[in-house]
């Protein structure tokens, strides 16, 4: 006998118990029809490989800027009107090439005047010699006086001094004439001229007119700063900082420009400063880079890769095999029973297209390198063995 009481289904205002039962059955059908992502098939296929071992050098990378090995602001040593310019703006000029010429005529006249003054001084010295000889002969015959000999000898000494003064003035005049030609002190790239011919330029003072700038291009310096922690990390840092240039080890570095993917520009670390900046806690390093094609200009930014260790053995795996679990990095491995075993790892730098694993793996581990999205911890998988290969240098 069915007991009367509270109905099994609430009908609501407009529903019925049959409608509610139908909705419940539909929900069960929907759950059963969910895609296989919620229910993984048994032993999904994955590709596994053992970590590759190779010699790896640890590197640190810094941002820096290229600087000219030599740089000079061209100024005249003498004043005058600029007569000509001997280069095209922005061109490469050779050492001792004439870049600017000042009107030579006033300086040529000064040389001629100095040469004439020298000849006059030499003539006065010859006359003083003759007078001294005559006075000494007269004094030897008791005709002349000793006072006359002393006077003529002093005149000769003064004449010698006048000749020396005239010779010095002639050298100065010739130097001033030579300074009318402003030559390139080294081979490099010249800036745009700052003064056009016909202008009066001031030279020989701290306020001398700047005519242009010349910078050397090949080789070129790359300067960067490193922290105290990185400096102490490198075991040869002290020898580099304190040794002479001949004793410094040849530390090879690689440099890349901001639009490049590889460190394709080789260089040699040649200098580390002798003290840290107390404000920033950094020290300056400098590398010498060959620039035969003159593609790199001073002021260009780049990144330098400096070795921070000796070559050592390291394990390498593809980047795709590493997954992130919040702050941790995890690699999925397959054990002898075909089960997925996650292992936390400490990844390092890239080496020839593969990621260095500093901690967490052994050479015998079978790492899932493809199909890791189908692997679940503790789940069985069908492991297909593959081989990891190194990429290009």
pLDDT tens digit sequence for 258-308: 998 888 999 999 888 889 999 999 999 999 999 998 889 999 999 999 888
How many domains are contained in the chain? 3
The rounded percent of the chain whose pLDDT value lies above 90 is 52
Domain with residue 155: its CATH number is 1.10.287
Q: Is the model more confident about 243 or about 294? A: 294
Q: What is the pLDDT of residue 19?
A: 39
Q: What is the pLDDT of residue 67?
A: 95
Mapped onto helix, strand or coil, the DSSP state of residue 340 is strand
Q: What is the pLDDT of residue 235?
A: 56
Q: What is the pLDDT of residue 82?
A: 95
**Do 301 and 339 fall into the same domain?**
no
User: What is the Cα–Cα distance from 281 to 278, expressed in whole angstroms?
Assistant: 5
**Do 319 and 376 fall into the same domain?**
yes
pLDDT tens digit sequence for 39-56: 556 788 999 999 988 888
Domain with residue 274: its CATH number is 2.40.30.170
Domain boundary among the residues 254, 278, 307 is at 307
Q: What is the pLDDT of residue 390?
A: 85
Mean pLDDT along residues 175-201: 94
Q: What is the pLDDT of residue 290?
A: 93
Please tell me what DSSP assigns to residue 339. Answer: B
Is residue 80 included in any domain, yes or no?
A: no
Is residue 63 included in any domain, yes or no?
A: no
Q: What is the pTM of this model?
A: 0.67
Q: What is the pLDDT of residue 247?
A: 57
Mean pLDDT along residues 306-317: 86
Is residue 148 included in any domain, yes or no?
A: yes
- Judged against a pLDDT cut of 60, whether residue 21 lies above it is answered with no
Is residue 301 included in any domain, yes or no?
A: yes
Q: What is the pLDDT of residue 240?
A: 45
Is residue 321 included in any domain, yes or no?
A: yes
pLDDT band of residue 114 (cuts 50, 70, 90) is very high
φ, ψ (nearest 5 deg) of residue 148:
-65, -35
Is residue 130 included in any domain, yes or no?
A: yes
For helices 146-178 and 105-140, angle between their N-to-C axes, nearest 10 degrees: 160
Per the structure, the complete domain to which residue 117 belongs is given by 104-179
Helix (H) or strand (E) holding 73: strand 71-75
Mapped onto helix, strand or coil, the DSSP state of residue 55 is strand
Mean pLDDT along residues 216-231: 91
Least confident of 93-107, 148-162, 217-231, 378-392: 378-392
**Average pLDDT for the chain:** 84
Q: What is the pLDDT of residue 262?
A: 86
Is residue 164 included in any domain, yes or no?
A: yes
């Amino acid at each position: 006998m069915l007991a009367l009481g509270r109905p099994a289904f609430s009908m609501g205002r407009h529903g019925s118990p049959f409608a509610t039962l139908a909705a419940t059955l539909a929900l069960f059908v929907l759950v059963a029809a969910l895609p296989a992502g919620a229910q993984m098939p048994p032993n999904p296929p994955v590709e596994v490989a053992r970590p590759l071992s190779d010699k790896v050098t640890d590197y640190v990378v810094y941002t820096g800027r290229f600087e000219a090995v030599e740089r000079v602001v061209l100024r005249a040593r003498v004043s005058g009107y600029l007569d000509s310019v001997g280069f095209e703006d922005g061109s490469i000029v050779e050492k001792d090439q004439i870049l600017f010429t000042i009107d030579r005529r006033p300086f040529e006249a000064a040389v001629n005047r100095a040469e004439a003054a020298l000849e006059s001084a030499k003539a006065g010295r010859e006359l003083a010699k003759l007078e001294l000889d005559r006075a000494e002969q007269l004094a030897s015959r008791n005709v002349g006086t000793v006072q006359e000999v002393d006077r003529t000898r002093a005149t000769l000494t003064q004449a010698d001094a006048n000749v020396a003064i005239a010779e010095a003035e002639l050298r100065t005049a010739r130097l001033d004439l030579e300074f009318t030609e402003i030559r390139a002190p080294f081979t490099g790239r010249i800036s745009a001229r700052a003064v056009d011919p016909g202008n009066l330029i001031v030279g020989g003072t701290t306020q001398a007119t700047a005519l242009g700038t010349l910078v050397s291009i090949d080789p070129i310096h790359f300067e960067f700063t490193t922290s105290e922690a990185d400096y102490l990390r490198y075991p040869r840092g002290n020898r580099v900082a304190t040794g002479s240039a001949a004793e410094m080890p040849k530390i090879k570095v690689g440099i890349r420009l901001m639009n490049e993917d590889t460190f394709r520009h080789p260089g040699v670390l040649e200098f580390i400063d002798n003290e840290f900046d107390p404000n920033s806690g950094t020290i300056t390093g400098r590398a010498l880079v060959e620039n035969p094609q003159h593609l790199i200009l001073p002021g260009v930014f780049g990144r330098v890769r400096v070795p921070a260790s000796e070559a050592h053995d390291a394990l390498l795996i593809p980047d795709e095999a590493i997954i992130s679990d919040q702050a941790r990095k995890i690699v999925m491995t397959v054990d002898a029973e075909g089960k997925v075993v996650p292992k936390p790892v400490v990844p390092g730098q890239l080496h020839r297209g593969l990621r260095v694993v500093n901690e967490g793996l052994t050479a015998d581990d079978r790492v899932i390198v493809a199909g890791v999205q189908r692997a679940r911890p503790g789940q069985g998988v069908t492991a297909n063995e593959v081989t990891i290969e190194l990429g290009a240098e």
